Amino acid sequence: MKRTAHRHGTTAQYTRLQRKIRSAVAGIRGVVRFNAPLSEYTSFRIGGPADVLVEPADVEDVIRLVKQTNEQKLSLFVLGGTNLLVRDKGIRGVVVSLAKLRAIKEESGSVLYAEGGVGMPTLIGHAIRRSLTGLEWAAGIPGTVAGCVVMNAGTRLGEMKDSVKAVRIVLTNGEVLDCLAESISFEYRRASLPVGIVIGVWLQLRPGVRSDIEKVVKDYLRSRRETQPLTLPSAGCVFKNPANDSAGRVVEAAGLKGISVGDAYVSTKHANFIVNQGRASATDVLALIKKIRAQVARKTGVKLELELKLVGQA
């Protein structure tokens, strides 16, 4: 009997995989979407389907999902950061969105506890209303709290590690672990954390004057709007800054502002941004990245490294 080929292998392999996936999400009370297009969940508006996309209802749901995914020996990927490009064939296994984990709690000593799915704009707004300073650097970053911790998100005004007091993680065995900031190694756009899902973060802020905080945020947002293409889908900065230089300056110096592949386009506002002008694919973006790196290396001698995180199947 002939076995039909499938993107997951033969029909028999696909059937086994589907059984494992359904076991992994059994009993989940949150949202479960099979073959979910990840373009709906990324800031780039690009990405193929996930075998299954899960939005856990709460922490207990996260624990159940992690344990069952681990038991089925399936891969698990958590959405949250904006600096992400999902390839066109999508992500195999279980993909998690923490969109329903969005509680913010105030604790003594100017500390906020934010669940992993809280958006940074929401968190900044909360801090402003409580006259708490320390997050102004994140104005304009659209990612989640969890995503910003995992990638140690930052701007020229500061980065996530400046505010993190502790991180709460669901480990792969379902245990919940609280990690103090001192035990976490924060580096440029990454944090060394135990393997698992960040479900909450304690942030040490400081009392401030609300009008002063609002002014800093407003001024920085204005500056970002003037210098970055914030009205079009993108994944933020594509390349890491070379030593003592700016990736945007290097790309511009190579004469690459405005070049495109398909609907993927190097912004004329900021050359370290690739924007999606409508129907760009991950293949378009990767082809454009390849072209930029080759021309920059040839014209300037600089070898650009990706800040953008690539995930999924080509």
Domains of the chain by start residue, with CATH: 5-96 (3.30.43.10), 104-211 (3.30.465.10), 229-311 (3.90.78.10)
Reported as a single tens digit per residue, the pLDDT across 240-265 is: 999 899 999 999 999 999 999 999 99
Alpha carbon of 118 to those of 39, 123, 183, 208, 261: distances in Å?
A: 20, 7, 23, 22, 34
Reported as a single tens digit per residue, the pLDDT across 198-219 is: 999 999 999 999 999 999 999 9
pLDDT-based confidence at residue 9 (cuts at 50, 70, 90): low
Q: What does pTM read for this prediction?
A: 0.90
* 308 closest CA partner among 207, 218, 222, 239: 239
Reported as a single tens digit per residue, the pLDDT across 273-287 is: 999 999 999 999 999
Count CB-CB contacts under 10 A for residue 172: 15
pLDDT-based confidence at residue 132 (cuts at 50, 70, 90): very high
Reported as a single tens digit per residue, the pLDDT across 75-125 is: 999 998 788 999 999 999 999 999 999 999 999 999 999 999 999 999 999
Residues 117, 104 contacting (CB under 8 angstroms): no
249: helix, strand or coil = helix
Q: Residue 269 pLDDT > 80, yes or no?
A: yes
Alpha carbon of 202 to those of 3, 154, 228, 271, 293: distances in Å?
A: 52, 17, 30, 35, 39
